[in-house]
Structure 1
């Protein structure tokens, strides 16, 4: 009666310090240090505690208010600010003249980027818009970068506050308010961007980063000149706070930060605009091996609202990243996704409706935790890409609440250790069930979650240690095909104190709880689980080899089907009938 051991596969996209405005007198802690849980990786950021490496938004705004008092109007340098005249040359003169702060107090039309390399603050005055971007769709209105091409040199101390930038009429959405390269100390606060992205942060060494040169022992980031042992060569001390971005079409950026540490992204709103990072290639042969440094570190991404993008909040090769109290909805691919990341946490987020996965990891996922989140799929996302004018990513079905995708790292020791704890996962579609999608893992833990109309079938041939304890699963609608509501197959398994309540009849051949102990089983414990409701489906426990160490005790409510009347199985699973594979 238990479903086919092979997990269904889902196709998905192929690849996806200086002392500045943010420097604290307290100093900066080492990446990954601080309170939190420990597992295969290091220490997780504490989602209940403001990070000690960045000031609060209120403190940042207080500093900006003091700096604003020094602002000189760009009109003093010949800017007309009438929304018609091209003020590009006047804006360049204003920056070259050297005032610490500038005030844009009218619509300044710009047709080309203005480059700055010295400490600078630009403020918007009046109601705006302050910048009408009439330049190329790949350029930024402001380019902040050091003089020359030495990748060890950084431009320092940029602040943009209260600016409203719009795309010029007749131009397709494109461009950005700021494109920064090699920056230390950068704040973008309380700005607005319409049909323009807000901010991107890059690094000069990325220009020679060649993913094709990587291997299991060669980090392409090191070949590009990054240190193999420390992260003092990254962008740092960046704050993106309180901004609103409406790109108008699919899609732009609230912020994209590459090769950076100590990054605060707080209180922003993005429509057709995402939050993402890149610390190197996450694929195995492109820089993703777990022993290589992660080159986005110490990021606090909190209280943002993001919709209508491929991924709401996601990125590659990050470490010590906290994604906290964000709201993400209607994405073509994922809501929150960690790719090749270590020591990262997503906590207290609310995410609704993703074409593929609401909460996911790809590639290496060492010590990654999803905790106290609310996730929902309503079954309407299969055509979300078409509705947003985009190309589908993979095979979107809009039914998966969680997913692990270990592509390239199957069988690798200590590569994938993921925990889902105390989350609420809901499938609210009109028919069928949602589900959680497994893949290879060293350790996968589901602890204390509440699932409604979501099947938690976590069987995978390569899984090693599986913990499913104190989860509550309720079902008030029927699957379309025979289903196993809670299942595992790891050689080390603990399935304890779960509650499965079934208030709607499931198709014939369905199973409430199933476990297949593989040939390599070392210890499996299945105890104190309860099945209740209208249809107390059976518990099917099978061993792939005689004498497998499987303990089954004190389970109630469903008929227990094994090959033995004792608590320890003694025969092969071959004598048990099997249900068709899950086919929602």
Structure 2
């Protein structure tokens, strides 16, 4: 539906199509109570849309994306949603005997991508109250990137990793009261959740839980927070988060990831977090080692799950080498 204005759609249910509810440059369209199953491309999409709403949508098995937004986005809201990918999602292309809609991995629950920078058009998206569930091999993926501000709250994830800095162009990020549960081990050197804007702006992770019901390899990073903007100061807050991922050496890894030696340093505030017993919080000083200013850091009342105080340690050369080898986003969804 191209350039639809002021529309209302409800109770539409699609199966075995290339897509379900798909818009291109729509404005002020409301979609309620719709579902999709076994679609070969993307089930629900707001491509280039402004001030549109998905409310109460349900997606099961999409060859590429359960929910997606391509190109421009302003004022779009997705709420009360559920998206699930099973092992069948990756086989849809073969099932339908089509070469279209590659790569057809069937791993992505939500993706915002293929955006563009326009200084006269501030872009944003809101995801509010829902669930993402992955039941195939490895892990599913949520990724938000490409010059957009994102508000993301009260979303449950089951065996789903997140990357909010995938294309290095993510903007302001507000994440609150989200839950990530993992029931199988990742690979050593995987980041389960990665946040951090690439602009002199702001990111905030407040509340929420990252937990695993099985032991993870020691090199798995439950929460990676990094800032990479070339100039200015990015501020990243991590507040009142609980991380319960047994086996990991580092629960939270933060870093000013610039390799060009810039000043001033990016800033991180870690307040009131609870991390895995026996694990640590670590800071990477990549920008400082490149000749720039030190990372700016404020920590307060961070403890592990035995309630012992935990401070932020500065990682040495070997930590930086491990950081550069981390698998983040789509790479982390696949077993080694």
Q: Given the alignment, which residue of 536, 553, 557 partners 2:271?
A: 553
- C-alpha deviation, 1:534, in angstroms: 3.4
Match of 1:485 in 2: 192
Partner of 2:226: 516
Deviations 1:181-207 (A, max 9, x none): xxxxxxxxxxxxxxxxxxxxxxxxxxx
Q: Mark the runs of 5 or more structure 2 residues left unpaired by the alignment.
A: 285-294, 300-311
Residue 318 of structure 1 pairs with residue 30 of structure 2: no
Q: Corresponding residue for 1:449?
A: 155
Q: Does 1:361 align with 2:73?
A: no
TM-score by length of 2: 0.79
SS of equivalent to 1:383? helix
The equivalent position to 2:256 in structure 1, one of 531, 535, 543, is 543
TM-score by length of 1: 0.47
Q: 1:350 to 1:499 in 2, by over 3 A?
A: same
Q: Please say if 1:567 is aligned against 2:280.
A: no
* Distance change (3 Å), C-alpha of 1:573 and 1:442: farther
Q: CA deviation at 1:509?
A: 2.2
Query: Which protein is richer in strand relative to its size?
Result: 2
Q: How far did 1:573 drift?
A: 9.6
The residue aligned with 1:464 is 171
Q: Distance in 2 between matches of 1:327 and 1:502?
A: 30
Gap change, CA 1:548 and 1:566, over 3 Å in 2: closer
Alpha-carbon distance in structure 2 between the residues aligned to 1:573 and 1:440: 31
Deviation at 1:318, TM superposition (A): 0.3
How many Å separate the matches in 2 of 1:565 and 1:321? Answer: 44
CA distance 1:504–1:382, change in 2 (3 Å): same
Q: 2-side partners of 1:565 and 1:410: how far apart?
A: 28
Residue 531 (structure 1) aligns with: 243
SS at match of 2:101: coil
Total equivalences in the alignment: 290
The structure with more radius of gyration: 1
Deviations 1:327-369 (A, max 9, x none): 1110100110011110011111111110110010011111111
Report SS of the residue matched to 1:392: coil
Aligned to 1:504, what secondary structure does the other structure show?
A: coil
**Residues 145-172 of structure 1: per-residue CA shift (max 9 Å, x gap):** xxxxxxxxxxxxxxxxxxxxxxxxxxxx
Q: Would the alpha carbon gap of residues 325 and 540 (structure 1) be closer, same or farther in structure 2, given more than 3 Å must change?
A: same
TM superposition shift of 1:424: 0.6
Root mean square deviation, CA, Å: 2.5
CA drift of 1:432 comes to 0.9
Deviation at residue 411 of structure 1 after TM alignment:
5.2
Q: How many Å apart are 1:412 and its aligned residue?
A: 4.4
TM superposition shift of 1:416: 2.7
**CA spacing shift, 1:322–1:542, aligned 2, 3 Å:** same
Does residue 425 in structure 1 map to residue 148 in structure 2? no
Query: Secondary structure in 2 aligned to 1:381?
Result: helix
Counterpart residue number, 1:266: none
Q: 1:533 to 1:522 in 2, by over 3 A?
A: closer
Question: Is contact 2:187-2:220 (8 Å) kept?
Answer: no
**Runs of 4+, deviation exceeding 4 Å:** 563-566, 568-575
In the superposition, relative to structure 1, how do residues 533 and 508 fare at CA in structure 2: closer, same or farther (>3 Å)?
closer
Q: CA deviation at 1:517?
A: 1.7
Secondary structure of 1:562's match?
strand
Separation (CA, whole Å) in 1 of partners of 2:28 and 2:51: 5
Residues 245-394 of structure 1 correspond to what in structure 2 (within 5 A)? 277-279=1-3, 296-394=4-102
Q: SS in structure 2 opposite 1:422?
A: strand
Shift of residue 456 of structure 1?
Answer: 1.5
Residue in structure 1 matched with residue 306 of structure 2 by the alignment: none
Note the residue ranges of structure 1 that are not aligned, 5 or more in a row. Answer: 1-276, 280-295
**CA 362–572 in structure 1, closer or farther in 2 if over 3 Å, else same:** farther
* Distance (whole Å) between structure 2 residues aligned to residue 553 and residue 337 of structure 1: 37
